[in-house]
Amino acid sequence: MSYDQLDCRVSAPCIIDTGIVVNKRDMQKLLVDLARVRYLHIQDGQVCNEAEGYVVEVFASEQQATLVANHALYLNVNSFDYLELKQSPEKETYFDLIQEGRLLRLIPISNPLEEHASRKFNAAALDAVMDQVLSGNWDSQLDEDCPF
């Protein structure tokens, strides 16, 4: 059997709840579902800042910075060397974004399952309201057009 006949494909990694993610697209996929988080900024092993915030945007750019201010987080995955998924003793997953001696730990406060259900409900409620508004608008136009 020659080398050409061998199947030399390498499987993509499979990470479940713990592990290290280096691919920037994979990092984005994990972070984009975050909403409310508690975050810790750790520099050289010392906690510099700890607060709650909301992940407003997750992106990959060579020209833009990661920004954390006024409880809003704009996360550029290119600002970090890798992401490490870890679990707390309570089996809750959290995210460590690591760049040399700096670590930004994101601990989710909101649950993506609840957020998704809430978004679906809000969309359905908005559709119902719009239907009522539009049908009410048509009714009022019909009333104005008919002079009886």
34, 30, 27: which is closest to 56 by C-alpha?
34
- Contacts of residue 100, defined as CB under 8 A and 6 or more positions apart, other chains included, come to 81
103, 101, 105, 88: which is closest to 31 by C-alpha?
105
Question: For 44-93, how does the pLDDT look when each residue is reduced to its tens digit (9 = 90+)?
Answer: 999 999 999 999 999 999 999 999 999 999 999 999 999 999 999 999 99
Q: What percentage of residues in the chain have a pLDDT greater than 70?
A: 71
Looking at residue 78, its pLDDT comes to 97
